[in-house]
Amino acid sequence: MGKKDLEKQDIGKTILEELTGGEPKEKRQKRGIWKILQIPALAILTGLIIGAVLIMATSFDVYDAFKVSLWKGLGTAFAEVGEAYLALITGSLGNPVEIVQALLYGDALDFRNAINPILESLVQSTPYIFAGLACALGFRAGLFNIGVEGQLFIGAAAATFVGYSLTGLPPYIHMPLAFLAGALGGALWGMVPGLLKATTGGHEVINCIMMNYIAYRFTTFLLTGPMSRPGTGGMPVSPIIEKSAQIPQFFKTPIRFHLGFFIALAFAALVWWVLFKTTLGLNLRTVGTNPRAAKYAGMNIIATTIIGMAASGALAGMAGANEVLAVNRSMAIGLSAGYGFDSIALALLGNSHPVGVIFAALLFGVLKNGATKMMVVSTIPIDIVTILQAVILIFVAAPAIIRSVYRLKQPKVEAAAIMLSGWGGVK
């Protein structure tokens, strides 16, 4: 262990140190805000530049324009990129002109519409927060929960079922009940690989992947069979969730901003509290960092492993519950946009710290929301955006690349040497 943790250098870790005070104050103060943000900012910039090249290279209009003349070609190329990126930004963060105008002249409705892009980005970030937290918690406990996707499906199914099958309950009971059912579903699904690991030593990665397959098929079965919506002719869609179980949206359609975002933030706070302020958290972190020391300290490694996987699964289940209860209001097979797998990247980006995860999730949400708009406005295929996202991610996750491209000084070459200053391990 040790070594890897120490060498990890990313935004999440930096933020983590800033916020939790993992190091003496003097050092914290010395590092400015720019230091924290320079890597992600430059990573995004680099990603955008590479994306621009891709946009130019994949557009037929650009090729056609080049046939006319070099200048026309270049002009078209930059115009296309400009248009696309403008769409990306206004689509995800809103159009500043519109916002100002709405503020000055418009009514409340205009204003809401003007800031809707930001709100929509938050909506898109919400499942990422839950799923990222699930993975982060797992990582802290030394568990590689690659089964978030499956747990998310089971959680969504459980929440949906409670959501439509119970009727006549008041919202303050029905909604939490459905949400908890989702958490429980995810927890159970996550617990299975946890149990297998703790009792038989079976590796959780393999078992999680298997559980994912079972989850896909099982939910397909549910949606086409016991949970299918009557009158859709066998379409894999569930009945609509009762109003009392829906997580409320704050504004009228088309604004989808909902309470789930704040629930996600609350759970991020809860995860932070549990991990860093409770005995259970110390158990989880110790087992995750140095299992031998955990054993020495008398911690119950078996129980901790099972609890870790179950808690991680519960958070994954919440991601699913959130999507069906707050956004879709029913469950369909195309429920997840790969949240489960992106969550691994999110957790790594956020250094498995809840605060880092929130920031990473916001980045993902913004990109995804902006991408949709970009696709609508310009003719750029969404695949380019996926590539863009991936490129940014690679750069954020591998700060060494950014550092060498922009000739930044390595802040902590020292880290690698720490292991040499201590000693004691024979063999």
Partner 1 sequence: MAPILQLKGITKQFPGVLANDHIDLTLNQGEILALLGENGAGKTTLMNILYGLYQPDEGEILVNGEKITIHSPTDAINAGIGMVHQHFMLIPVFTVTENVMLGSEPVKAGDFLDRPKTAAKIMEISSQYKLEVDPNDYVKDLPVGVQQRVEIIKLLYREANILIFDEPTAVLTPQEADDLFVIMRSLVKQGKSIIFITHKLREVLDVADRIMVIRRGAVVGEADPKQANRNKLAEMMVGREVNLVVEKDIKKPGDVILSIKDLVVTDQFKQVMVDKVSFEVHAGQILGIAGVQGNGQTELVEAITGLRKSVSGEIKFKGQSILNEPPRKITELGSAHVPEDRQADGLVLPFPVAENLVLCTYYKEPFSRGVVLQYEKILENSEKLVQDFDIRTPSSLTTVGSLSGGNQQKVIIARELSRPIELLVASQPTRGLDVGSIEYIHKRIVQKRDEGCAVLLVSPELDEVIELSDRIAVMYRGKIIALLEAEEVAKETLGLLMAGIVPDKIEKPQGQRVVETTF
Tokens encoding 376: 């609508």
Tokens encoding 338: 């790969």
Q: Region of 410 please: left (phi>0), alpha (psi -120 to 50) or beta.
A: beta
Residue 238: partners with Cβ closer than 8 Å, 6 or more residues away: 157, 160, 161, 164, 222, 223, 227, 228, 229, 324, 330, 331, 332
Q: Nearest-CB residue to ligand ATP?
A: 421
The H or E element containing residue 421 is helix 418-421
The CB-of-31 to ligand ATP minimum distance in angstroms stands at 15
CA distance 416 to 402: 19
3 state SS for 163-177? HHHCCCCCHHHHHHH
CA distance 29 to 19: 11
CA distance 9 to 408: 13
Cβ burial of 322 (10 Å; 0-12, 13-18, 19+) is buried
299 binds partner 1 (CB under 8 A): yes
The CB-of-422 to ligand ATP minimum distance in angstroms stands at 8
Exactly one of 280, 397, 398, 408 binds partner 1 (CB under 8 A); that residue is 280
421 binds ligand ATP (CB under 6 A): yes
Q: Decide which of partner 1, ligand ATP, none touches 23; Cβ closer than 5 to 8 Å per partner kind.
A: partner 1
The CB-of-136 to partner 1 minimum distance in angstroms stands at 16
Q: Decide which of ligand ATP, partner 1, none touches 100; Cβ closer than 5 to 8 Å per partner kind.
A: none
- Cβ proximity to ligand ATP: between 293 and 416 the closer is 416
CA distance 318 to 320: 5
- Cβ proximity to ligand ATP: between 390 and 416 the closer is 416
170 binds partner 1 (CB under 8 A): no
Considering only residues 362 through 421, tell me which ones interact with partner 1, judged by CB under 8 A.
413-414, 416-421
Give how far Cα 28 sits from Cα of 14, 24, 37, Å.
Answer: 10, 7, 14
CA distance 180 to 182: 5
Exactly one of 9, 101, 289, 379 binds partner 1 (CB under 8 A); that residue is 289
Interface size with partner 1, residues (CB under 8 A): 42
The CB-of-319 to ligand ATP minimum distance in angstroms stands at 38
> Segment near ligand ATP (CB under 6 A), from 11-19, 22-30, 94-102, 414-422?
414-422
Exactly one of 5, 7, 64, 383 binds partner 1 (CB under 8 A); that residue is 5
What per-residue string of b and e applies to 30-46 under the rule 16 or more CB within 10 Å gives b?
eeeeeeeebbbebbbeb
Exactly one of 262, 295, 337, 338 binds partner 1 (CB under 8 A); that residue is 295
57 binds ligand ATP (CB under 6 A): no
416 binds ligand ATP (CB under 6 A): no
5 binds ligand ATP (CB under 6 A): no
- Cβ proximity to partner 1: between 109 and 293 the closer is 293
* 72, 66 Cβ separation under 8 angstroms: yes
Question: Which residues lie near partner 1 (CB under 8 A)?
Answer: 1-2, 5-6, 21-24, 26-27, 277-282, 285-286, 289-290, 292-293, 295-300, 413-414, 416-427
Contact footprint for ligand ATP (CB under 6 A): 414, 418, 421
